[in-house]
């Protein structure tokens, strides 16, 4: 009976569930990798991606022209392009030359009347500047001379130069401009005018140095006055501290005598039996000693103050000697600069005067011989 009973199939529900559990145990990333690999393989095999990824371009060799007619055609094309390019450049240059010619014509049309007008008024302007520059230069040279002689203060030529020197230099520059514009005397004559201007500028340097000398003199004088004031105060301090010192010496001597008397009184009081008298004598002795110490301290203070004032007086004497030497040096520089500056200013006037005389002579020649023969 038992042998005829058929066997139970293996695919029971419990067995199916155990198989699902085993599939669940497989890692998810492994399944995903397999699926992606399959899809990618299909794409590469059946899609156009295969042609894109695996296609290789055949390198084409450059075509070499071997026939003569083709080579001649290429040469003709290059020649045509070159000729066209050159033709464009030539046209551009022609246009530029034409534009430059028009610009030069315009400049000449406007400049020639202006230059003619400038030349027409140049002589009149030069005459006005000549009439202003020479008297100013001569007057400045005279002020230098008067300052050297002492008839005027040294500040007078300095003040005059501050008012007129810039106008003198401007007038000289305008004279040089007129010489060039009117073509008087050539380049050598222009150099002569430049030399006159340089000489006048040299004179201005002496005026600046002279102004610096006056500033130094003023500073040293104020310094000497301040030192003298401080010295006088220290001299008075020495006198007062010397009197205080003598007074404190006398006070110290008196205090010593009082201390000696109080010591004697204290010794006598100690021989007696009265304690109050002894204590009072002791207090009197202590007070006398304190007074002596006070007078001695005052004496030392007076001595220290007197010595300090004497040291300051000695330093003031040293500073006075140095300041006087510097003052003397500045005064010497002032005198030298007045003398040298006056000479240079006179030379500047003479050089400018020579230029002016030459200009007037050239003008006179033009008047007497207008044809230039």
pTM of the model: 0.58
| Maximum C-alpha span of the chain | 174
C-alpha span between 359 and 239 (Å, rounded): 77
Give the tokens for residue 27: 């890692």
pLDDT single digits (tens) 322-362? 999 999 999 999 999 999 999 999 999 999 999 999 999 98
C-alpha span between 108 and 266 (Å, rounded): 126
CA distances to 12, 201, 220, 224, 318 from 322, rounded to whole Å, are: 131, 35, 10, 10, 6
Torsion sign over Cα 143, 148, 150, 153 = positive
Residue whose entry in the numeric block shows the structure tokens 């023969």: 373
C-alpha span between 373 and 364 (Å, rounded): 14
pLDDT single digits (tens) 167-183? 999 999 999 999 988 88
DSSP 151: S
* Out of 71-75, 160-164, 176-180, 237-241, least confident range: 71-75
Better pLDDT: 249 or 183: 249
pLDDT > 90? residue 136? yes
Q: Is 59 helix (H, G, I), strand (E, B) or coil?
A: coil
Q: Look up the CATH architecture of domain 114-368.
A: Orthogonal Bundle (1.10)
Contact 266, 282 (CB under 8 A): yes
pLDDT > 50? residue 4? no
Give first-to-last CA distance, the chain, whole Å. Answer: 171
Give the tokens for residue 299: 């004496």
Residue 106, CB-side half-sphere exposure with 13 Å CA sphere? 6
C-alpha span between 326 and 215 (Å, rounded): 12
Q: Is 296 helix (H, G, I), strand (E, B) or coil?
A: helix
pLDDT for residue 343: 96
CA distances to 184, 191, 244, 307 from 231, rounded to whole Å, are: 68, 60, 20, 14
Instruction: Label residue 271 by pLDDT band (50, 70, 90).
Output: confident
Q: Is 194 helix (H, G, I), strand (E, B) or coil?
A: helix
pLDDT for residue 20: 52
The residues, any chain, with a CB within 8 Å of residue 179's CB and separated by 6 or more, are: 126, 185, 189, 190, 193, 359
Give the tokens for residue 157: 């030529």
Contact 234, 313 (CB under 8 A): yes
Nearest CA among 205, 212, 214, 137 for reference residue 168:
137
Q: Domain segments of the chain: what residues?
A: 114-368
């Amino acid at each position: 009976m038992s042998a005829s009973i058929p066997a139970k199939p293996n695919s029971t529900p419990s067995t199916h569930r155990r198989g699902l559990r085993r599939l669940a145990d497989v890692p998810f990333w492994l399944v995903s990798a397999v699926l992606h690999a399959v899809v990618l393989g299909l794409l590469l095999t059946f899609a156009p991606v295969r042609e894109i990824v695996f296609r290789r371009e055949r390198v084409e060799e450059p075509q070499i022209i071997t026939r003569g007619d083709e080579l001649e055609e290429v040469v003709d094309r290059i020649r045509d392009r070159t000729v066209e390019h050159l033709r464009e450049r030539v046209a551009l240059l022609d246009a530029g030359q034409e534009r430059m010619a028009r610009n030069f014509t315009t400049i000449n049309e406007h400049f020639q009347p202006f230059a003619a007008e400038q030349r027409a008024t140049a002589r009149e302007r030069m005459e006005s500047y000549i009439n202003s520059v020479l008297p100013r230069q001569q007057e400045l040279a005279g002020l230098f001379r008067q300052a050297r002689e002492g008839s005027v203060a040294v500040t007078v030529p300095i003040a005059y130069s501050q008012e007129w020197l810039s106008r003198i230099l401007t007038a000289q520059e305008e004279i040089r401009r007129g010489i060039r514009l009117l073509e008087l005397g050539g380049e050598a004559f222009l150099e002569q005018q430049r030399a006159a201007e340089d000489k006048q500028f040299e004179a201005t340097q002496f005026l600046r140095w002279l102004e610096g000398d006056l500033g130094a003199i003023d500073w040293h004088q104020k310094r000497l006055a301040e030192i003298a004031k401080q010295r006088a105060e220290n001299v008075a301090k020495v006198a007062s501290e010397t009197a205080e010192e003598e007074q404190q010496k006398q006070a110290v001597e008196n205090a010593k005598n009082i201390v000696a008397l109080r010591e004697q009184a204290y010794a006598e009081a100690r021989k007696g039996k009265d304690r109050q008298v002894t204590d009072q004598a002791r207090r009197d002795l202590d007070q006398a000693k304190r007074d002596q110490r006070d007078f001695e301290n005052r004496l030392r203070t007076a001595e220290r103050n007197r010595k300090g004032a004497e040291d300051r007086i000695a330093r003031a004497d040293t500073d006075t000697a140095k300041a006087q030497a510097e003052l003397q040096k500045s005064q010497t520089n002032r005198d030298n600069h007045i003398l040298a500056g006056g000479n240079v200013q006179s030379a500047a006037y003479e050089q400018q005067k020579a230029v002016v005389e030459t200009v007037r002579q050239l003008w006179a020649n033009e008047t007497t011989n207008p044809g230039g023969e």
